[in-house]
Structure 1
């Protein structure tokens, strides 16, 4: 049966109205981000519930000690620098202060003991546009290592920190605290052990997840809303609602290495 002009119009309007009436499902900051974490991050840790609670308590204590009061719900990046753990944890903190675990991955923090090496400082560090991020150029150093990882990897900058030297007289000096990927061929397989000069190394796939979804970009998104152009942000990103802005470094104080955080080469 052929449709008249009015018939086509009626079908078109019906389809449009049907589309408008379709349910819209909001982004769930825990369930949906957990799926994205499992789907896109290739190096993950399966953390027991009792350990999740432990890290939520350590993060809460660090926030209190730093005098940071959180009002908005947001994501928090927590890193354990303990030599027996060396891991990154992504949490969602609700407006009521409830912590929910999203995902975890092996990481590397500072290994003091030789020249120009620091222990990654403890505390709460604000990710702001005052210390602009940048992207790795993918160039190799004299040892053939791409220190920031492959070209295009985002380098998260948390500014200058006053920390004791990990060598010599141990005097307090300035160290630039950053979080970034590492050489995918030579160093990423060492994640899960202390390896860096003081910065935090994370898997490249985790770096891409945080970058693409703007998980720690609360201040950057606010700058965009204020009309400030930021070249470091990917134009194709899909920012999450209520992004975070804080990196929390803790030390859990372990006597030995738990099964859920195996040493490199034993995964």
Structure 2
């Protein structure tokens, strides 16, 4: 007993006893992001009717559904799950490329914390954990996003919001806000996702877009005459629901993500370091997540690469 206690104290001092269970985090990501997204696509109406946006209820109901033979043999559901797992599973070569890219950024990380990465080419949001003891990044999970599409500027009428390039670089989260859940004019699109989804804000950033209007404010339809110009984007990462799919650039420049990924980032303090004091929520104008976990690992960095 005494030897065991001495060993525990030794490990604690060495930092090993506090090592995060990566497999547990990966399983949590898979359940709450990948699996929940697939079941929502297939049984969304049933889940929302029975659970009223309660995550614990969603998970419990999905576990029940998985026990049903009809669900187990659901070809469409299995196809969605297979597609997501195949598409999103990183190989060693890709992960090593990510790690090498991260080393070039030389970010000052003083404690174990979450670090978020975006690959604009592959349209992926990648959640990692930087371990202070091992000085290594650990892979948690990834999901499809939708970034800025500057070519959609052709759709813009004078006075409407422009389509800008999503900026690449290292960004630190600022004080965001929660979505009011308001629908767009089509009565379908939820620009910032369901009510109370968190909008992660990274400040005003320099970027580029096409100018598709002449000096008389007339639309230029000849693409050869478009000019790339500099502009600024109020850069945010947020939930989004519309007919346009994830995995393709479609946004005005911000990062759109699935509802499930947004809730995972919010509930697990992936980008909440600047609004937490230990486990105390500091944001005066946005309520605390219902089920906040891993606040001791809270992150603040979002690193966006044009290509990995």
TM-score band (shorter)?
0.7 to 0.9
TM-score, normalization by structure 2: 0.65
1:86 to 1:112, Cα distance in 2 relative to 1, 3 A: same
The equivalent residue for 1:146 is: 190
Larger helix proportion, structure 1 or 2? Answer: 2
User: Residue 31 of structure 1 is aligned with which of 23, 26, 36?
Assistant: 23
Compared CA separation, residues 104 and 164, structure 1 to 2 (3 A): same
Q: Secondary structure at the match of 2:26?
A: helix
Shift of 1:223: 8.3
Cα distance change on mapping 1:159 and 1:209 into 2, 3 Å: same
Q: With CA pairs under 8 Å and 6+ residues apart, which has the higher RCO, 1 or 2?
A: 1
1:186 aligns with 2:186: no
Q: For the structure 1 residues 92 and 170, does the alpha-carbon distance in structure 2 shift closer, same or farther, using more than 3 Å as the test?
A: same
- Maintained 8 Å contact 1:112/1:167: no
Aligned length in residues: 217
2:271 corresponding residue in structure 1: 216
Equivalent residue in structure 2 for 1:171, among 212, 229, 244: 229
Q: Which residue of 2 aligns with 1:256?
A: none
Match for residue 202 of structure 2?
Answer: 158
Q: For residues 205-260 of structure 1, what are the alpha-carbon distances to aligned partners after superposition, in whole Å with 9 as ceiling and x for unaligned?
A: 1111111111221111138759664533225422342211000000226xxxxxxx
Give, in whole Å, the separation in 1 of the partners of 2:194 and 2:285.
21
Q: Any stretches of 5+ residues in structure 2 without a counterpart?
A: 1-16, 38-83, 157-161, 213-226
SS for the counterpart of 1:172 is strand
Q: CA deviation at 1:143?
A: 2.9
List gaps (5 residues or longer) in structure 1. 1-24, 254-267
Which range moved further: 240-249 or 168-177?
168-177
What residue in structure 1 maps to residue 50 of structure 2?
none
Task: Show the counterpart of 2:136.
Answer: 98
TM-score, normalising length: structure 1: 0.74
TM-aligned CA deviation for residue 34 of structure 1: 0.8
